[in-house]
Amino acid sequence: MIINGVTIDETFAEAFPMKATRAIITAQNAKWAMIAAQTMTGFATSVIACGCEAGIERVLSPDETPDGRAGVSVLIFAMGGKGLAKQLETRAGQCVLTAPTTALFAGIDSDIKIPLGKNLRYFGDGFQIAKKISGKRYWRIPVMDGEFLTEATTGQVNAVGGGNFLVLARSQPQALAACEAAIEAMRKMPNVIMPFPGGVVRSGSKVGSKYKTLNASTNDAFCPTLKGATKTDLSPNIESVMEIVIDGLTKEDIDNAMRVGIQAVCDLGAAEGIERISAGNYGGKLGPFHFHLQEIMA
């Protein structure tokens, strides 16, 4: 398959099951809602070392938030429910409770509930007040700028992590420009995040390493400087490869995000140095979700 001069490899991205939740952060204005959201989702690129994968889903207008203020929706993904609950509670306490003027609400409903502000209430040292409105429990926690309002729980749902595609280009600036175009398009899609810095990964990995203490190591087949030293997957004219990783609430959400992202790259085309679109997979051994590039772009 070739789109605008860009070859779409006959391969698939391999992804795995995760647990996820959404939280809604509001504040006095959009600036402080975003600061809290960025802080809460920091150091959350990969479960390999971060404990969770998190990112900003989208900015919310006041008519979309529970308290009618500016807001930001964030998604958090982890390998299991226990880890998700711990990461959510820690990040909410350290990054949202501490941020001026913020409030915190559940962003997803499900039968499985995990603490959002349920345990943060103890910071109130006995002065906290519970409120129940329309069947939902909230906590009002006194803080020095007034009070911190938080919903007690949010929902946990099954999700998918690790959808991805690789952009293979003739130069580093061209690969980055293509990824930036893809991320801009993908951020308009609901229910997904691209958790790596700016949505782009330069250090794509493979499973395993020559060093026993490492579970993952550099994807040498796609490293341009190793063309003569390893079994490379790169032709001589490819000098840079970058990856975009997608987490989504469903497989269909990732399908849709990959489609618009890959199309944005192909719109730049071979004229802008883009040679191929490929994907990271491990022979089907890593996870049960397979995203076949040519099927997505058919």
CATH label of the domain that carries residue 52: 3.30.70.520
Same domain, 225 and 248: yes
CB-CB neighbours of 114 under 10 Å: 20
Q: Is the dihedral of CA 263, 264, 267, 272 positive or negative?
A: negative
Same domain, 208 and 256: yes
Can you read off the two tokens belonging to residue 239? 């000098």
Residue that finishes a domain, picked among 135, 157, 179 = 157
Same domain, 188 and 122: no
Number of residues that this document lists for the chain:
298
The total number of structural domains that make up the chain: 2
Q: What are phi and psi of 250, to 5 degrees?
A: -140, 165
CB-CB neighbours of 33 under 10 Å: 26
Per-residue pLDDT of the chain (298 residues; tens, 9 = 90+): 999 999 999 999 999 999 999 999 999 999 999 999 999 999 999 998 999 999 999 999 999 999 999 999 999 999 999 999 999 999 999 999 999 999 999 999 999 999 999 999 999 999 999 999 999 999 999 999 999 999 999 999 999 999 999 999 999 999 999 999 999 999 999 999 999 999 999 999 988 899 999 988 999 999 999 999 999 999 999 999 999 999 999 999 999 999 999 999 999 999 999 999 999 887 777 789 999 999 999 9
Q: Position 8: which residue type?
A: I
Same domain, 175 and 293: yes
